[in-house]
């Protein structure tokens, strides 16, 4: 009887041991379940500043996906009272009869962006320097921001200097200066024996001026597609040791933008400077892009409805996204391309004061005010 009890006890102990080991094995095989939301949060925490690379979203909102809505509270300012506007952008001054194009605001699908407040901008960036670097689309955006701030603080004292390549608007009481540095290609054009040479691999002329700014907004593209001795800014292209009359312009832009990206990575102190890329501004010379084959921007009075452009994306915009994603420096992409494509009505067309048709630049007040409102949102949200 005693032997049977001992055997039963040993058998029970053996079974309990086996079950305990099985539980341990199962526990070691189990992996913690992390929701998609937690994965996203962990990734964002791990990436830190890197999450700004080519960034399109702010506080969970894609600022650049949305539609245009009529807004009677627009525009932000009256062109006749802004001292900074070039005649080529002052469409009302040169007889544009319709004003409805001034009354549209951009509404993102997933949030509401803050309305621009020029006084708040000046207080936030007191004593700081903002610089727009690029071509005439940078001029469009620079003048727009100057006018928006000027209208927000009536009677404010300003210093306005127009030079080439460096111009500035200073709001004296706050010590805020908006600089403009004109350089259509970002990379260098040098004078050599053969003529003007576009150097795809160098950024030396003026780049030291860009350093130590508090906000930098870069832009380039339109001049890369100009052709002919009078229209383009160069006679030859240098790519490494090769000197050539011409090459594929998208390839050239890609090489030049990569040189710019390397310069930013090597020279910008991100603890001091926030860097933006303005994005590719579209043109509206070819009506078939929006299903009006015989038309251009001339006579257009309303934006396209919806949130997609019939003509599709621009190849240059893809190059910008790809280059920004390869950079070490966090650069915020102001992805203005699609929302600007929808604004076939916002160009000077024949109201630029020079008798030409302009479907490249934008009226002021107008679309560049929205670009600046999105810049303001990206800085404040």
Which residues participate in catalysis according to the annotation?
Answer: 136, 358, 361
- Phi first, then psi: give them for residue 273, nearest 5 degrees: -115, 130
Contact (CB, 8 A) for 370 and 106? yes
Contact (CB, 8 A) for 255 and 239? yes
Concatenated DSSP letters of 142-185? HHHHHHHHHHHSTT--EEEE--SSEEEEEETTTTEEEEEEE-TT
Q: How many angstroms separate the CA atoms of 323 and 18, rounded? A: 59
Pairing assessment for the beta strands 274-277 and 215-218 based on DSSP bridges: parallel
CA angle 242, 247, 252 (to 5 degrees): 85
Concatenated DSSP letters of 88-132? GG-TTTTT----GGGSEEEEESS--PPPP-HHHHHHHTTT-EEEE
Beta-carbon contacts of 82 under 8 Å, excluding residues fewer than 6 positions away, are 143, 146, 147, 150, 151, 364
Beta-carbon contacts of 359 under 8 Å, excluding residues fewer than 6 positions away, are 283, 284, 285, 296, 297, 298, 347, 349
Cα dihedral 212/140/73/374 (nearest 10): -40
SS3 content of the chain, % helix, strand, coil (to 5): 35, 20, 45
Contact (CB, 8 A) for 61 and 110? yes
Contact (CB, 8 A) for 303 and 282? no
Residue 130, exposed/middle/buried by CB under 10 A (0-12, 13-18, 19+)?
A: buried
């Amino acid at each position: 009887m005693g032997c049977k009890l001992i055997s039963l006890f040993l058998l029970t102990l053996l079974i309990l041991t086996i079950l305990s080991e099985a539980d341990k094995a199962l526990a070691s095989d189990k992996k913690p379940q992390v929701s998609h939301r937690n994965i996203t949060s962990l990734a964002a925490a791990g990436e830190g500043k890197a999450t700004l690379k080519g960034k399109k979203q702010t506080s969970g909102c894609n600022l650049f996906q949305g539609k245009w809505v009529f807004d009677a509270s627009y525009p932000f300012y009256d062109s006749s009272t802004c001292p900074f506007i070039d005649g080529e952008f002052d469409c009302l001054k040169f007889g544009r009869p319709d004003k409805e194009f001034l009354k549209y605001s951009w509404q993102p699908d997933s949030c509401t962006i803050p309305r621009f407040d020029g006084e708040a901008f000046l207080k936030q960036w007191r004593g700081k320097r903002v610089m727009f670097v690029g071509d005439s689309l940078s001029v469009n955006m620079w003048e727009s921001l100057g006018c928006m701030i000027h209208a927000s603080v009536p009677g404010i004292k300003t210093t306005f200097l127009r030079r080439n390549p460096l111009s500035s608007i200073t709001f004296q009481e706050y010590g805020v200066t908006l600089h403009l540095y004109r350089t259509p290609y970002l990379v260098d054009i040098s004078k050599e024996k053969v003529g003007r040479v576009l150097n795809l691999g160098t950024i030396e002329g003026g780049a030291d001026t860009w350093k130590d700014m508090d906000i930098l907004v870069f832009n380039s593209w339109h001049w890369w597609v100009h052709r002919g001795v009078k229209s383009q800014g160069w006679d030859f292209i240098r790519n490494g040791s090769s000197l050539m009359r011409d090459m594929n312009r998208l390839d050239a832009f890609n090489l030049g933008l990569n040189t710019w990206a390397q310069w930013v990575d090597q020279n910008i102190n991100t603890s001091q400077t926030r860097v933006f890329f303005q994005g590719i501004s579209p043109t509206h010379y070819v009506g078939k892009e929006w299903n009006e084959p015989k038309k251009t921007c001339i006579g257009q009075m309303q934006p396209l409805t919806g949130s997609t452009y019939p003509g599709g994306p621009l190849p240059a915009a893809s190059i910008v996204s790809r280059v920004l994603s390869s950079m070490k420096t966090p650069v915020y992409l102001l992805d203005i391309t699609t929302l600007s494509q929808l604004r076939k009505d916002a160009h000077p067309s024949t109201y630029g004061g020079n008798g030409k048709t302009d479907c490249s630049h934008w009226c002021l007040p107008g679309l560049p005010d929205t670009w600046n409102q999105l810049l303001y949102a990206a800085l404040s949200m």
